[in-house]
Structures are given as C-alpha cells and as structure tokens.
Structure 1
Amino acid sequence: MDLLLTEDWDLLDDGNGSIALTPSQEYSVAQTVATEIKLFEGEGWYDQSQGTPHFALILGVNPNYPLIRQVLLWRATGVDGVRNADMDMYIDQNRTLRGDIFVTTGLKGNIYRVQY
C-alpha cells in the first residue's frame, strides 16, 4: 500500500487524523504509473533514473505523436504490477496534448484509467 494522493498530488487524511493509504494494491499500481509518467526524468528525489524523458524526447521538438505514445507506454509498463498498457491520445480545444492510459494490473487483471 502507498500513500493516497489527491488529484493535485497532495496527501490526504483518512478522517481519523492519519495519512490515507491507497484502497488496494491495484490502485497503488495505477497511482505509481501516473507518478512515473508525470515525473520528469532525473527529478526523482531518491532515484533519478525514474521518470519520463520529457526534455530529451518530448518538449522543445516538433511533436512526434507515435514517439510520445511509445515513451509513455514504455514508462507505464515498466512499473511493477503492470501487465499491459494501452493509450488514447487527443488534443483538446486549448491545443494541449492529453491522453488516457489504460493499465491492466497483473494482480487481478483489472483495468485502471490514468489521465495524462
């Protein structure tokens, strides 16, 4: 079990004054995938090999959507407990690249949606 994070990546209390934990191991895997994708490579406090190479491959270059998709799925499937991952990408009305990554966990085979 991991610490439960809000949508703003902040800690949450459990109503009893303690820090809330994820409700299941599978939820923890999905939350770890989201963290891995949003973390910039080299910025992990304890492990600088974690994270996505946003500066090296994604930002500051012409958009290469297949490459972005491949990199994000590579990071998602590298998380322990992930059996499979697939992704839908789209550009919203503000010209922001968004996506949904669907993660299948190896524990029970449940599918979780992680937004990018």
Structure 2
Amino acid sequence: MDHRDLALRFVEEVWEQRTPDAVFRFTDPAFVDHAYLPGTAAGHARMVHTFCAAFSASRHAVEHIVTGDELVLMRLRVSATHTGTFREHEARGALIDVQQYRSFRFREGRMVEHWALLDTATLLRQIGA
C-alpha cells in the first residue's frame, strides 16, 4: 500500500470511524505528533477521543491530497454537530464546517510524523464561543 492510501485509510479508520485506538496500528514506535500533546500516538488518540466526545455526526472529507516521497499533505473539510463540551464551551447543537490541513510523513509503511492545522477560530465562532 502506498503512502497516499495509508494516509487516506488513517483518516477513514481513525477520524471517520471515530476509533482512537486505530492510531496505534498506523504509527511507528518512534512516531512524533507535532499537532497534539503529548506529541505521541497516545496524544493523537486522546485528541480523537476529545473531538468525538464534543462533536457527533462528524465528517472528515478529503478535498485535496498531494504526495511526495515520504510526505502526504491533505486539505480536509471537517463538519459535525457540537453535542458535548469543547474547550469549556457547553454544547448548543451548533453545526461546524471548517477547513483542516494535515501532513503525514511515512517510513517503511508506518507513520513517523504528523502535523495538523484546524481553523479553530472559525470552529469557536460557529459553536458560539
């Protein structure tokens, strides 16, 4: 399986299917996450859990993907319903629709690094923060 397919499967299995523990199937033991704390696979899984607890009916639609030797870059549209507390903001049932960018670096079929940038300012506005 090429890196593009691995990245797409990661988004599908981890974020679309809302399965935090799936992170560990894709990541190398030396994995570094530059987006979530702690910067480990466990930190990434915790963020999936946090997001899923705050937002239901989520969709992570890949709008654009670019691949290089080891790198995969994605632009996604994230949509969901705010049904749980997020950053101390109580759920109001608001719909979110925001852009996200993700970068993955793979080595020998395993994810070794991840970066992400979510339009958090728009998300917070949409949930009434």
Q: Normalization by structure 2: what TM-score?
A: 0.33
Work out which structure has the larger RCO, using CA pairs closer than 8 Å and 6 or more positions apart in sequence.
2
The structure that has the greater radius of gyration is: 1
Q: Which has the higher helix share?
A: 2
Q: Which has the higher strand share?
A: 2
